[in-house]
Structure 1
């Protein structure tokens, strides 16, 4: 599908392989997640709109430069999306940061919203959802729907590891949303877990069980 963009960068693929290691410490998981997110964000930001701006330089005069005009909101999905926020905000240091709290109910696998501090009116040109893992796609779908109802005209989703079933369902349902992913895993088991996947991101990042 045209709105699914899978990174072909060899460093991304190597780092995802390293992230899969079950014996990684929480610190290693955080560092790898951050590093992968930084590489993915370069692809996410390639289409940002630029405007010309005049800058005074010293001592030789003026310079006609470029400034990003697109106004973004970074939307990490709590809690694992926070691990990607540093990388995204380092590139887009003027972006707003808007958190969404969503978790997957264990028995039904349905997303449950527990935190939402979006302002009453949408005031950005595009929203970038940050979530390391997409399994069934329920949580990402809820985040997209919340942002669309808020009034976001453009939405991008950045994920490190996704299931084919989950990402293709999302891409078909939301053809205007662009999905930037590190890798697609083929299997989604009966418990809604991606196989081989990258484990429970929230627990691995925070050293919890």
Structure 2
């Protein structure tokens, strides 16, 4: 993953994303699809996890086999919508350490306001994956990664469901060392800072709120 942006164009990812975009998809369906798609995206974002070897005994013979090396990775959810992506990834990587950063977007300025932060220790020794379904203006993502770098994180990835060109550019400007993995790069933002064509507010659709 050498590029700043990776769009996962796997047919299953694209099919599930289309159903999620459809405004007639129920809250339960949206939530289930988000968990399923996050599993598929997790394969891509963890592609560069470090491996070492260990000696095991199979039913047939002893062998030297690959195993993950180093500290357990850290998953950081940008509240609240990030939790939907995180749940699916934890099914794949149940031993991951988990952190939360609470940010909301001021509706007037579109700037992020932090209200909560609790992250794992030893971030300098862990791959750290930040999850948020929507990379829109990029302001919240940049603020979250600023905070994580201050906490010591060095090996960072950003995982989202949808990204806008504006958000990708903002992230590349602020954090060119943080690769982005997404299911789709959409057309852009509307006057309210929402991704279009997008899928609406991911948190509202996931939790059934307005």
Per the TM alignment, residue 134 of structure 1 is displaced from its structure 2 partner at its CA by 1.0
The answer as to whether partners of 2:165 and 2:186 remain within 8 angstroms in 1 is: yes
Larger deviation, residues 182-191 vs 111-120: 111-120
Structure 1 pair 114–194 and aligned structure 2 pair: CA distance change class (3 A): same
Per the TM alignment, residue 93 of structure 1 is displaced from its structure 2 partner at its CA by 2.0
The aligned residue for residue 73 of structure 1 is 74
- How do 1:9-28 residues align onto structure 2 when only pairs under 5 Å count? 9-28=10-29
The answer as to whether partners of 2:8 and 2:183 remain within 8 angstroms in 1 is: yes
Gaps of 5+ in 1: none
How many angstroms apart in 2 are the aligned matches of 1:183 and 1:168?
15
Number of residue pairs the alignment of both structures matches: 208
Structure 1 pair 2–121 and aligned structure 2 pair: CA distance change class (3 A): closer
The DSSP-based 3-state class of the residue aligned with 1:99 is: strand
Gaps of 5+ in 2: none
Cα-Cα RMSD: 1.6
Per the TM alignment, residue 122 of structure 1 is displaced from its structure 2 partner at its CA by 3.1
The answer as to whether partners of 1:171 and 1:179 remain within 8 angstroms in 2 is: no
The DSSP-based 3-state class of the residue aligned with 1:33 is: helix
The aligned residue for residue 62 of structure 1 is 62
Q: Which runs of 4+ in 1 moved over 6 A?
A: none
Deviation digits for residues 67-111 of structure 1 (CA, Å, limit 9, x no counterpart): 111431001111111111122112222210111111111111111
How many angstroms apart in 2 are the aligned matches of 1:150 and 1:61?
45
TM-score, structure 1 length as denominator? Answer: 0.93
**Corresponding position: 1:176 with 2:177:** yes
The aligned residue for residue 136 of structure 2 is 135
The DSSP-based 3-state class of the residue aligned with 2:123 is: coil
